[in-house]
């Protein structure tokens, strides 16, 4: 396992987790931290209180369908989720997630991960390991530019760095 | 021998500076053209660009169109338009079309498209440009800010679904009917997929009809919609002041044996006019299933449904007829050039003599912003592309989608009716 690999626990859900489940409309007025406390409550009331920084969410098809609200991705990030794996993502959620610095990865292996499994992710190598079962799975490796962006905290943050650096050089 | 590739793969490989890219791979691409309108563009970009202390990466590659809030109906829409104009001036935008028509129609009208381009647009129907063999996708405001600041973005290489349309479309059946059928058959959840259209019915279409296919790839949930360029494409581009070469035709097409995720085949000659019931384009059915639904309004508008050919379709049904009592027919031509051409070729008088009310060119009621909105409980038959709840006025209004033939027939009958029946009756009477 390379030094870049991150390890955490798996939270496993099914198909069609929509933006209302991730960021419930009734809690949208609460602000990012308050809203995050309600993340996934409709299907797992204990999620927000048990998830720890570095944990992973695994789900089925169509993760993040629904509205374009960026808060759906922000809530997961606020709670410390290190990456979301799903069979497929709604496009806007997917872009939002990566643009705010939350890796979203296609993971088609049904039944490969159970709730509570210890997982390790190496984004640079494009590999996810289920430490509990001892099996490795490839994920599409992210280009360096995107990994840098995710590490910088997202698109706007990385742009600040990029243009700030340019000003210094000139 | 190199592995066969889809058109989407080829364009993304070129834009990413790679020899080959594979579906599922994330690539960083150079953007050839960026487009946004008054709602998605300047008003969302300016503060961010100023915070970053940068201008546009290339003002000659940014097209801005004011089409959503035009003409201003209140002080707020006027302010949005002013913000758009100020931005175009202050940031040196070379191609700014102020109240000249809907962005997706403006791009090909002014020769901005060429096969093989990567086009990023601040609008979900940016896919429209894929009719010209461009890879065209819609992006949100944060993405677009980064795109106009840097000239690049990232994207996941899509799998391609090939839609193969054989046969010939029958009387009063159009590309719009193909798309309403596909919304039902393929569903609206084709996230990250490229939808590529081909077959003899597509080759027989003019460019306006092809844009309907590419436009509504957005309704299928697709990343982009594509039609391989041919002589029709090049002729259209050249006639509109754009640049294209014969070599574009051979270069920008899917290889024999390209790895399609799925091929969906359809025989155009068996297709009946389609209507989509509220509140989703996927609620579509053969028109016979819904004949007799009474309407209050008939709307011919939007990027997808008010181009010159759409007005021609409507006029072919409306000629010498009158709109039914108690029904209002509203027509918002997709651009100023469309209006000009329709005035010259005699289409406008046919529409107005039938009782149509002409509205300004712009998104109008399609975006729920301009003239032509609906009251609670009202029913509208519309040539637009979406009928989501509340999009065209009150949340308890009904919007039914159909082709311009179908909308025009509905306007005359005061209810949903098969345009073929209407035309046949008229022939019998003549
Ligand atoms: S006409 Fe309608 S669908 Fe087309 S760009 Fe305007 S709002 Fe969007």
Structural domain range at position A15 = 6-140
Question: Residue of the nearest CA to atom 1 in ligand 1?
Answer: B302
For residue B262, what are the contacts with CB-CB under 8 A and spacing of at least 6? B161, B162
Instruction: Give which of A87, A91, A160 to mutate to test B binding, by max B Cβ within 10 Å.
Output: A91
For chain B, the average pLDDT equals 97
Q: Is B212 near ligand 1, meaning CB less than 6 Å away?
A: no
Q: A146 lies in a domain? A: no
Express each pLDDT in A32-88 by its tens digit: 999 999 999 999 999 999 999 999 999 999 999 887 788 999 999 999 999 999 999
- Residues B242, B145 contacting (CB under 8 angstroms): no
Residue B139 placed within a domain:
yes
B367 CA to centre of ligand 1 in angstroms: 6
Q: Are residues B193 and B278 in the same domain?
A: no
CA distance B24 to chain A (A): 7
pLDDT at A170: 35
DSSP letter for each residue of A4-61: T-EEEEEEE--S--BHHHHS-GGGGGG-HHHHHTTTTTTT-TTHHHH--TT-EEEE-S
Say how many domains are in chain B: 2
Structural domain for B68, as ranges: 7-267
Residue A13 alpha carbon to ligand 1 centre in Å = 36
Domain boundary among the residues B267, B296, B325 is at: B267
Write the pLDDT tens digit of every residue in B332-384.
Answer: 999 999 999 999 999 999 999 999 999 999 999 999 988 999 999 999 999 99
Q: Choose one of B215, B239, B267: the last residue of a domain.
A: B267
Q: Is residue B1 part of a domain?
A: no
Quick one: B319 and B346 in the same domain? yes
Residue B114 lies in a domain: yes
Residues B162 and B211 placed together within one structural domain of the fold: yes
Specify if B2 maps to a domain: no
Q: Residue B392's domain is classified under what CATH number?
A: 3.30.499.10
| pLDDT score recorded for residue A168 | 46
Flag if A89 and B191 touch (Cβ within 8 Å).
yes
Residue A51 counted as domain residue:
yes
Specify if A153 maps to a domain.
Answer: no
| Torsion on CA atoms A53, A153, A144, B33, rounded to nearest 10 | 140
| Number of Cβ atoms within 10 Å of the Cβ of A133 | 12
CATH number at residue A38: 3.20.19.10
The per-residue b/e assignment along B306-334, b for 16 or more CB within 10 angstroms, e otherwise, is bbbbbbbbbbbbbeebebbeebbbbbbbb
| Contact by Cβ (8 Å): B98, B335 | no
Residue A71: partners with Cβ closer than 8 Å, 6 or more residues away? A19, A22, A23, A28, A32, A35
Same domain, B127 and B183: yes
Q: Is A82 helix (H, G, I), strand (E, B) or coil?
A: coil
Buried b (16+ CB within 10 A) or exposed e, B147-178: bbbbbbbbbbbbbbbbbbbeeebeebbbbbbb
* B330 plus B382 within the same structural domain: yes
Handedness of CA A63, A28, B385, B387 (dihedral sign): positive
pTM across the whole model: 0.93
ipTM, 2 dp: 0.88
Q: What is the mean pLDDT of chain A?
A: 90
The total number of structural domains in chain A stands at 1
Q: Does residue B207 belong to any structural domain of this protein?
A: yes
Nearest CA to ligand 1 atom 7: B367
């Amino acid at each position: 396992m390379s030094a870049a690999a991150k390890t955490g626990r798996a939270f496993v859900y099914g198909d069609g987790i929509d933006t209302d489940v991730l960021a419930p409309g009734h809690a949208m007025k609460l602000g990012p931290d308050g809203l995050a406390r309600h993340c996934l409550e409709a299907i797992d009331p204990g999620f927000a209180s048990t998830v720890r920084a570095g944990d992973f969410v695994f789900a089925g098809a169509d993760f993040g369908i629904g509205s374009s609200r960026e808060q759906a991705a922000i809530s997961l990030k606020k709670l410390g989720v290190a990456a979301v794996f799903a069979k497929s993502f709604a496009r806007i959620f997917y872009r939002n997630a990566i643009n705010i610095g939350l890796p979203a990865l296609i993971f088609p292996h049904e039944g490969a991960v159970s709730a509570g499994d210890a997982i390790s992710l190496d984004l640079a190598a494009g590999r996810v390991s289920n430490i509990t079962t001892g099996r490795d799975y490839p994920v599409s490796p992210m280009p360096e530019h995107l990994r840098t962006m995710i590490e910088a905290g997202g698109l706007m943050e990385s742009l600040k760095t990029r243009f700030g650096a340019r000003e210094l050089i000139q | 021998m190199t592995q066969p590739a889809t058109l989407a793969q080829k364009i993304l490989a070129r834009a990413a500076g790679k020899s080959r890219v594979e579906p599922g791979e994330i690539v960083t691409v150079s953007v050839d053209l960026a487009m946004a309108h008054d709602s998605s563009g300047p008003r969302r970009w300016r503060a961010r660009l100023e915070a970053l202390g940068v201008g546009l990466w290339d003002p000659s590659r940014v097209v801005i169109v004011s089409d959503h809030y035009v003409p201003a109906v209140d002080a707020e829409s006027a302010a949005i338009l002013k913000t758009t104009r100020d931005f175009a001036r202050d940031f040196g935008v070379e191609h700014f079309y102020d109240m000249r028509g809907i962005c997706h129609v403006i791009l090909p009208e002014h020769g901005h498209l060429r096969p093989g381009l990567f086009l990023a647009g601040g609008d979900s129907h940016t896919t429209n440009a894929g009719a010209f063999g461009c890879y065209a996708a819609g992006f949100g405001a944060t993405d677009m800010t980064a795109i106009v600041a840097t000239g690049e973005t990232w994207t996941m290489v899509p799998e391609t679904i090939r839609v193969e349309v054989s046969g010939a479309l029958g009387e009063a059946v159009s590309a719009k009917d193909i798309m309403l059928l596909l919304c039902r058959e393929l569903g609206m959840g084709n996230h990250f997929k490229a939808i590529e259209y081909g077959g003899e019915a597509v080759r027989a279409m003019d460019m306006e009809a092809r844009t309907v296919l590419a436009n509504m790839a957005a309704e299928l949930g697709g990343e982009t919609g594509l039609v391989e360029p041919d002589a029709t494409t090049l002729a259209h581009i050249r006639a509109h002041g754009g640049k294209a070469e014969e070599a574009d035709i051979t270069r920008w097409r899917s290889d024999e044996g390209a790895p399609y995720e799925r091929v969906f085949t359809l025989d155009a000659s068996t297709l009946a006019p389609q209507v989509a019931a509220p509140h989703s384009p996927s609620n579509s059915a053969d028109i016979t299933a819904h004949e007799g639904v009474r309407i209050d309004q008939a709307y011919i508008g939007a990027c997808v449904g008010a181009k010159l050919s759409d007005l021609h379709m409507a006029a072919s049904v409306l000629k010498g007829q009158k709109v039914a009592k108690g029904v209002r027919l509203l027509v918002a031509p997709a651009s100023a050039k469309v209006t000009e051409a329709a005035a010259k070729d005699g289409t406008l008088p046919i529409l107005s003599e039938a009782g149509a009310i002409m509205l300004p060119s712009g998104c109008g009621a399609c975006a729920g912003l301009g003239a032509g909105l609906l009251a609670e409980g009202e029913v509208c038959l519309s040539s637009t592309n979406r009928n989501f709840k509340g999009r065209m006025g009150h949340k308890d209004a009904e919007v039914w989608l159909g082709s311009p033939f179908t909308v025009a027939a509905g306007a005359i009958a005061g209810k949903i009716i098969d345009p073929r029946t209407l035309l046949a009756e008229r022939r019998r009477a003549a």
